[in-house]
Amino acid sequence: MSSIDIDSTIYEMSAPAPPSTPPPTNGPSAPQLQLTPEQVKQMETNRLKAKAKQIEAERRAALANPNSSTNPSATGDGLTKRKGGALDDIQPAKRFASGYIEYDFSKMKDTKAGFMVDESEMPGAGGQTLQERLLEQQRRKTMHAPAPPIDPRSAPKCEACGKSTDLDPQFEEVFGVRVCYICKEAVPEKYSLLTKTECKEDYLLTDPELSDTSLLPHLLRPNPHKPMWSSMQLYLRSQIEAFANTKWGSLEKLDEEFQRRVERKKEAKDKKFEGKLRELRRKTRVETWKRKGGGLGGGGGKGGRHEHEWGQEAEKDGVVTRRCVECGMETEEIVF
């Protein structure tokens, strides 16, 4: 054997062998783990609890996000799986449960914000038109009206003409006056109606007197100029004149009191005007004196001391006027 063969033999003996899979053994296999009945029962319980938690989590997520594709109630299949497809068991989300209001839009009506409501759909209308409801109100009013007497000769007659029995029921109900429609229009100086303002200005009556219905009954009617304002209070002229006659003694004394109040208002107005005029004159004189170089202390234009030499006093309407002879300054004093 040569030296080359010896070296190759030594190298093959020293090189490590490659890994290989051991051959299968035909001996007995390892013993398997045997579970007791208690352990099997505990495993089944844990599995059911985990499944229940998973279902509860999915249900909460579906209620919190109803538009989600995972929500079974948002699809047709989920609805059909419920009891007969009914929606009564659908509940609001937990965070909206306190303020949740359910509306049935199929039963709601558009009322145009309450400003343009169809009168035929108003409560109690019963499908009637406005004209039909007015006729119904008139019929009810006629039914509640007192029945006419059986004997026309015993029927109440107009207190003005003493003949007509066609009396105005409103005047009789409110004012207690029996007057027919013809006499009411023919005698306006007795049966005409006066507003509350006219009673206060022309007959000098006060608000408490006009508000007492036992003294002066009044008729309420809507304001023709301002429909949204309070209703007008209308009084019967004959009752107003009778009350004013009792209060002031006679209509002549009422005229005297009216004239006295007019003169008193005029005097107060003139007095106020004269006071403003005197104040304007006083300010004008002071400004004129200042522009001339004088002063309230009596200093002249040349810087010397000036002593006023007052002229004769003039008194008019309780006001004493004095004028300096040298500088022309005037003063006014009110004498009480």
**In the chain, where are the structural domains located?**
154-256, 257-294+310-334
Backbone angles phi, psi at 264, to 5 degrees: -65, -40
Give every CB contact of residue 75 below 8 A, 6+ residues apart in sequence: 69
Give every CB contact of residue 98 below 8 A, 6+ residues apart in sequence: none
pLDDT on residue 78:
47
Token pair 């051991």 is found at: 22
Maximum distance among all alpha carbons in the chain?
176
Backbone angles phi, psi at 220, to 5 degrees: -95, 130
3-state SS, residue 316 = strand
Q: What share of the chain is helix, strand, coil (3-state, %, to 5)?
A: 50, 10, 45
| Cα separations in angstroms, 282 against 101, 126, 336 | 77, 79, 19
| Cα separations in angstroms, 93 against 62, 96, 103, 125 | 9, 5, 16, 41
Of residues 121 and 74, more confidently modeled: 121
Cα separation, 334 vs 318, in Å, equals 6
User: Measuring CA to CA, which residue among 72, 61, 118, 125 is closest to residue 94?
Assistant: 61
pLDDT tens for each residue of 72-102 = 444 444 444 444 445 566 776 766 666 667 7
- Reading the block at residue 46, the tokens are 């844990």
- Reading the block at residue 273, the tokens are 């005007």
- Checking if the pLDDT of 70 tops 80, the result is no
Confidence of residue 68 (pLDDT cuts 50, 70, 90): low
Of residues 31 and 164, more confidently modeled: 164
Strands of the 330-334 sheet, one edge to the other: 314-316, 319-323, 330-334
Name the most confidently modeled range: 234-248, 270-284, 289-303.
234-248
Report CA torsion sign: 155, 159, 164, 168. Answer: negative
pLDDT on residue 76:
46
- Report whether 286 contacts 321 (CB < 8 A): no
Cα separation, 148 vs 158, in Å, equals 15
- Checking if the pLDDT of 238 tops 60, the result is yes
pLDDT on residue 244:
94
pLDDT tens for each residue of 38-52 = 998 999 999 999 999
3-state SS, residue 233 = strand
Strands of the 193-195 sheet, one edge to the other: 193-195, 232-236, 219-221
Helices (H) and strands (E) in the chain, counts: 11, 6
Instruction: Report how far apart the first and last C-alpha atoms of the chain are (Å, whole number).
Output: 168
**Per CATH, which fold does 154-256 belong to?**
Nucleotide Excision Repair Protein XPA (XPA-MBD); B Chain A (3.90.530)
User: Measuring CA to CA, which residue among 199, 188, 269 is closest to residue 233?
Assistant: 199
Of residues 242 and 31, more confidently modeled: 242
- Checking if the pLDDT of 221 tops 60, the result is yes
Helices (H), 98-163: 130-144
- Checking if the pLDDT of 159 tops 70, the result is yes
